[in-house]
Structure 1
Amino acid sequence: MRRHIFIGDLQGCWDAFQRLLDRIAFDPASDRLCLAGDLVNRGGKSLKVLRQVRDLGEPHFTVLGNHDLHLLAYWQNHPRVRKKNPEFERILGHAEGPRVLDWLRRQPVLWTDDALRIALVHAGIDPRWDRAQARACADELEGVIRGPKFDRFIDNMYGNRPVRWKPEQKRFVRARTLTNVFTRMRFARSDGKLELKSSGDLNKPPKGYQPWFELIHPDWSDWTVVFGHWSMLGHYDNGQVLCLDSGCVWGGRLTAWIVEADRRWIEQVDCG
Structure 2
Amino acid sequence: MALEDSARCILGNHDLHFLATYHGVRKAKKADTLKPILKAKDADTLVNWVRVCPLVREEEGILMVHAGVLPQWSCSQAMGFAAEVQDALLSRDYTDFLSAMYGNEPKRWSDKLKGDERLRMIVNALTRLRFCTADGEMDFETKEGAGSAPKGFMPWFEVPGRATAQDTIACGHWSTLGFIDHPLVLTLDTGCVWGGCLSAMRFDGGRRELLQIECGELPGVLRPS
Deviation at 1:171, TM superposition (A): 1.2
Closer/same/farther in 2, CA of residues 185 and 153 from structure 1, 3 Å limit? same
Q: Which residue of 2 aligns with 1:225?
A: 169
Answer yes or no: is the 8 Å Cα contact 2:189–2:198 preserved in 1: yes
Residue 65 of structure 1 corresponds to which residue in structure 2? 12
Tell me how far 1:221 sits from its aligned partner.
3.6
Structure 1 pair 86–195 and aligned structure 2 pair: CA distance change class (3 A): closer
Q: CA deviation at 1:125?
A: 0.4
Q: Partner residue of 1:152?
A: 96
Instruction: After TM superposition, give the deviation of residue 219 of structure 1 in Å.
Output: 4.6
* Structure 2 stretches lacking a partner, 5+ long: 217-225
User: Aligned letter for 1:92?
Assistant: L
When residues 267 and 159 of structure 1 are mapped into structure 2, their CA distance, relative to the original with a 3 A threshold, is same
State the Cα deviation string for residues 232-257 of structure 1 (Å, max 9, x = none): 10111222111000011111100110
TM-score by length of 1: 0.75
Number of the residue aligned with 2:76: 132
* Alpha-carbon distance, 1:264 to partner: 1.0
Deviation at 1:57, TM superposition (A): 1.7
Once the two structures are TM-superposed, the CA of residue 149 in structure 1 deviates from its matched residue by 2.3
Q: Using the alignment, how far apart are the partners of 1:162 and 1:92 within structure 2?
A: 31
1:142 aligns with 86
Q: Find the residue that maps to 1:133 and give its secondary structure.
A: helix
Alignment correspondent of 2:54: 108
Render the CA deviation track for 1:172-211: whole Å, top value 9, x for unaligned: 1111111100000100112121001102321120111110
In structure 1, what is the equivalent of residue 183 of structure 2?
A: 239
Is the 2:73–2:164 Cα contact (8 Å) retained in structure 1?
A: no
Instruction: Quote the Cα distance in structure 2 between the aligned partners of 1:141 and 1:209.
Output: 26
* TM-score of the pair, normalised by structure 2: 0.89
Whole-angstrom CA distance in 2 between matches of 1:156 and 1:265: 40
Which one-letter code corresponds to 1:146 in the other structure?
A: L
CA distance in structure 1 between the aligned counterparts of 2:69 and 2:32, rounded to whole angstroms = 32
Partner of 1:87: 33
Measure, in 1, the Cα distance between the counterparts of 2:179 and 2:116: 33
8 Å Cα contact 1:129/1:217 also seen in 2:
no
Please state how far the C-alpha of 1:132 moved relative to its aligned partner. 2.4
1:242 counterpart SS class = strand
- Give the conservation status (yes or no) of the 8 Å contact 2:142–2:148: no
RMSD: 1.8
- 1:143 Cα shift? 1.1
C-alpha displacement of 1:225: 0.3
What SS does the corresponding residue of 1:61 show, helix, strand or coil?
A: coil
Q: Which has the higher contact order (CA 8 A, sep 6+)?
A: 1
Cα distance, 1:208–1:190 mapped onto 2, change above 3 Å: same
Deviation at 1:262, TM superposition (A): 4.0
The residue type paired with residue 11 of structure 2 is: L
2:167 alignment partner AA: W
Equivalent position amino acid for 1:253 in 2 = C
CA distance in 1, matches of 2:106, 2:215: 37
